[in-house]
């Protein structure tokens, strides 16, 4: 079953967060199990962002979480955010085509 993780956070350091994400993707190329990801900004709440990451399964997401690079990125993200992020762990029960 497909799995999606949403990470919601606030920061005034968007450029640094985006650079960290790019660095993480480069350092985990061929190793990470995360699929497509979207970085979104909230039009109604300045400095609020949501990252949506797709995985083939919950197990693939947990494998990705165990990577040392993932732990290091999470620690650096905490330094860049205005507070702790909120995680939503979602099983995909249906895909609806446009």
Predicted confidence at residue 42, as pLDDT, reads 97
Crossing angle (nearest 10°) for helices 14-27 and 68-80: 170
Q: Which domains does the chain have, with CATH numbers?
A: 3-91 (3.30.70.100)
Intervals of the chain under pLDDT 70: none
Predicted confidence at residue 87, as pLDDT, reads 95
Predicted confidence at residue 62, as pLDDT, reads 96
Structure tokens at 60: 């693939």
Give 42-59 pLDDT, tens digit per residue.
999 999 999 999 999 999
């Amino acid at each position: 079953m497909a799995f999606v993780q949403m990470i919601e956070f606030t920061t005034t350091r968007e450029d640094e967060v985006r650079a960290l994400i790019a660095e993480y993707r480069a350092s985990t190329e061929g190793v990470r199990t995360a699929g497509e990801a979207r970085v979104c900004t909230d039009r109604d709440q300045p400095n609020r962002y949501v990252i949506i990451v797709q995985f083939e399964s919950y197990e693939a997401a947990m494998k990705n979480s165990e990577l040392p690079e993932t732990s290091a990125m999470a620690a650096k993200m905490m330094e860049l955010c205005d507070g702790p992020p909120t995680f939503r762990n979602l099983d995909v029960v249906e895909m609806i085509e446009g």
